Structure formats: C-alpha cells, structure tokens
Structure 1
Amino acid sequence: MRKLIGITADVLFETTPVINEKHADFVPRDAVNAVLATGGIPVSLPHLPADQVDGLLSRLDGIIFTGGPDIDPTLFGEDPVPALGLTYRPRDLFEVALAQHAVAQHIPILGICRGMQIINVALGGTLYQDLASQYPSDYRIQHHQQAPGNLPTHHVTVGPSALQRAVGPHPFVNSRHHQAIKTPAPGVRVVARANDGVIEGIETPNVNVQGVQWHPENMWAEDPRQRALFQAFVDRLN
C-alpha cells in the first residue's frame, strides 16, 4: 500500500492573481512530484493550531518539512539580529509541534533546508540567524546561490550514514539559505558539511529523523542521487 506523506505548506504573502487573496498556502510542486515518483502519496499540510497536530499524525506515515522563510529566533532563545529575514511565527509554532509529536510517535521525518533547521530547533538545537554576519569561519562559500535553483553549485562531504548511502560521499548540491544549524539538537548527529564547515546534513541513529540543507526536490529528476534520497525516505516508511 502506498504511504501517505505529509508535506508542510509554505505561505504566499503577496496577493495571488487567481483568487485575489493573501496568505495562500502552497506546497512546492517539485516536492509533490518527488514523492509521487518514489511511491508515496503527497498530502499538503497547511499550518494549523498546535493542538490539532495529533489528529494529523494519526493519518500520516511520514512527513517532509519544506523550505521557506527564516525561523523566529525567540524559539531558540535569541532576539532577532538586524540581518534576520522574513519570519512567520504561526508556521513555526505549527512545525515545531509537528516535529516534536512525530518524533515522540516514531513517525519518520525528512527536513529540506528550512525544514532541517525547524526540526533542529524543535528538538532543542539553535541556528545562525545570518551566516554572513555570525558564522565564525574566514572561509565561506556562496550559500545563497545566484545560479538557477535547480542547478548544483557546491560540494558537500557526507560521512558514513544513511544519507551517504543515498547520495554518496561528495554530492554536488544546490544552495538557497542564509540561516544554518549552529548547535545540533541533543540526539541528532551531524553527517554532512560544506567545505567551510556549515552543517549540511543531520540524522538520528535510527534515521527516523533526517535533514539536508540543500534542495533535492529541485534536482531529483536529473540527479539519481537526489532521487535516491527521496526513495530511501519512502522506503523507511514500510
């Protein structure tokens, strides 16, 4: 039986030309197609009050946390720095609760870019609010690429892990972020880094939690390694 996979929805803050409404929820089509291509059934998850999370989880086999705006730093004990971008606290609160309840109920989750970051925050970790002003290394690479988003721009080193079995030890990835994990959450293992040390992949020992900093949903149709990442996630639901 095909598994139901929730995909967290982003929010369009501009008025849509179709229904002339602000705050429309949407799920990235590339993520939907990746789930369909690897045997899952995608289900859109617009943000809801946190007390409704359990009702969602009783119907889902797995969850993909997608990209989107910055994460409210008060959720990891900090006030916003000047370079913090757009945040949307209602989505943050929903996804924190969703990640916490999914982990407690042993429902596999996969985080993509912001999705990896919100999982880390939900489990007790912290973030760099802005890499350019806060990251300590003198050697930095372009983490918010100027190339088209479906094209790779930098390499990642992946240590022995389930992630490495899917994408290999040195995948060539795309990159669209200016926040990143600072302190990994307790129980979460860092399994991949960029050449400047920025964390690019995390897992728990049982691989019920996995996250990547790049956007495999934009590359899976052309890169078998990125497709393998989604396939491995769907296979873990069986």
Structure 2
Amino acid sequence: MSQRCDSVAGRDEVRDALDVHLSLLLWELGFLPMPMASAINDHGEYLEALMPDAVVLSGGNDIGQTPERDCLETALLIHAAACRLPVLGICRGMQMINHHQGGDLRPVSGHVAVRHRVSGSLVGTTGREVNSYHDQGVLDADLGNDLEAKAWSDDGAVEALRHRNWPWLGIMWHPERDSPVTEADQRLIRRHLGGTALSISKGAHS
C-alpha cells in the first residue's frame, strides 16, 4: 500500500503518512495492510521481498508533487500488471492509474470537502452519495488506454474506472473517511480484493 509524502516545515525531514482509518478498514475487512516506504528506490528488490498479493494506492499528494511517491506507484503498477494483481486506487490512486495508462487530469470545481451523488454500473442505476476531496479530476475524454468509466458525478466527472483486461479499480471517493464506513464500500472492497491470498482469518490468531 502506498502512502502520502509530507515535508515537515522547519526540518530537513520528509515523512510517509497514512490515514489510520484506511489501515483499520482493510484490517477489519480481513486484509493485512503493508505500507510501503516511498524513499526505497530499489523497487524490484523491495517488491520481491514483500511479494504483495494486491496493491492499494492511497490518497493524498498531487501527481508530480512528490517524485519518489510517483516512482514507487509506477513500479507498483508495473509489478501488478506483470503479475495480474488486483489494484485498488483511492482518489489520487485512481488518478495515478489513469496517468499510468496515458490519461490526463484537469481541474474540477465543487469537489472539495463536499458530498455528492454518483451513478453508474459500479454503484447501481439509482446511484448513491459519496464524499469528495479533490480539485483535479478525469472526464471521459481524459481516460487512459484500456480504461473504462464505471461511475460519474452529476457534472460528468469520472468517479470510478476499471481496466478492461486487468483487475484494476479506481474510485475518487474515500471509503475510509466515512464513519461508519458504508456497507456498499465494504462490499466493493471485499469483492475487488477478496479473492487474493492477502485475505486472512482473524479467528486463527485468537
């Protein structure tokens, strides 16, 4: 799982950071989250040692803002493609999937710290309400190679996408920021990642 990179003001220090709610969500759904250090640049050896069964690209940071994170996530996507691993991209993570596939981003308005409706095959024909925390987005014309939109907001922004050939899913909302996490998002994550060997049985550890 990738993390955001934060520079600490007044110190020569860059920290990897991850919302604890995302780690807890994955754990409660039966997965073992393993945050990856952005500064380690020997990605091949790193991934060979970890041998992940799935990839989660978390939110935070704009693409191009933190080159070390961009490089790590690019390596993760290359590895996922080679091994046909499931990928879940959340907010920036969806943008990174699109960027990796040659797609574009553009500024969007009315998508920061609001809730809005999304509709499409991923969320059902009647749609549902989700949170939104981004000022860059994707329209249908911006989609990268082999990607297809699966949900849209009412203003036409793509809110979810899938890869046509690989088990890659991107969503623009943050399931971990809802309290409690919606049952719809729990089902979505379980369904997408649940077939991996990453799944664990907590009962075996009690």
- Structure 1 residues 22-171: aligned runs within 5 Å: 22-48=13-39, 51-53=42-44, 55-56=46-47, 59-72=51-64, 87-128=65-106, 130-132=107-109, 142-145=110-113, 153-159=115-121, 163-164=122-123, 169-171=126-128
| Equivalent residue letter for 1:170 | G
Mapped contact 1:200–1:212 kept (Cα < 8 A): yes
What's the offset of the Cα at 1:51? 4.3
1:227 counterpart (182, 186, 190): 186
TM-score, structure 1 normalization: 0.74
Indicate the residue corresponding to 2:129 in structure 1.
172
List per-residue Cα deviations over 1:100-155 (Å, max 9, x = no partner).
Answer: 22122201100000000011111221111x224xxxxxxxxx20025xxxxxx111
Indicate the residue corresponding to 1:75 in structure 2.
none
What's the offset of the Cα at 1:186? 1.0
The RMSD of aligned alpha carbons is: 2.3
1:14 counterpart (2, 8, 14): 8
CA distance in 2, matches of 1:53, 1:171: 40
Q: Once structures 1 and 2 are overlaid, which stretch shifts more, 41-50 or 29-38? A: 41-50
Indicate the residue corresponding to 2:204 in structure 1.
none
CA distance in 2, matches of 1:222, 1:95: 25
- Relative to structure 1, the CA distance from residue 119 to residue 9 in structure 2 (aligned partners, 3 Å threshold; closer, same or farther) is same
Q: Which 5+ residue runs of structure 2 have no aligned equivalent?
A: 198-206
Q: Which 5+ residue runs of structure 1 have no aligned equivalent?
A: 1-6, 73-86, 133-141, 147-152
Mapped contact 2:43–2:72 kept (Cα < 8 A): no
Mapped contact 2:43–2:75 kept (Cα < 8 A): no
What's the offset of the Cα at 1:206? 5.0
Indicate the residue corresponding to 1:82 in structure 2.
none
| Equivalent residue letter for 2:24 | N
Mapped contact 2:3–2:37 kept (Cα < 8 A): yes
SS of the residue corresponding to residue 145 of structure 1 reads strand
List per-residue Cα deviations over 1:52-111 (Å, max 9, x = no partner).
Answer: 246415610001101111112xxxxxxxxxxxxxx1122112212221221222011000
CA distance in 1, matches of 2:45, 2:82: 11
Aligned residue pair count? 194
Mapped contact 2:38–2:72 kept (Cα < 8 A): yes
SS of the residue corresponding to residue 104 of structure 1 reads helix
Mapped contact 1:69–1:88 kept (Cα < 8 A): yes
| Equivalent residue letter for 1:63 | V
2:143 counterpart (174, 184, 208): 184
CA distance in 2, matches of 1:156, 1:181: 14
CA distance in 1, matches of 2:2, 2:159: 20
Q: Percent identity?
A: 27
CA distance in 1, matches of 2:136, 2:187: 26
TM-score, structure 2 normalization: 0.84
Indicate the residue corresponding to 1:204 in structure 2.
163
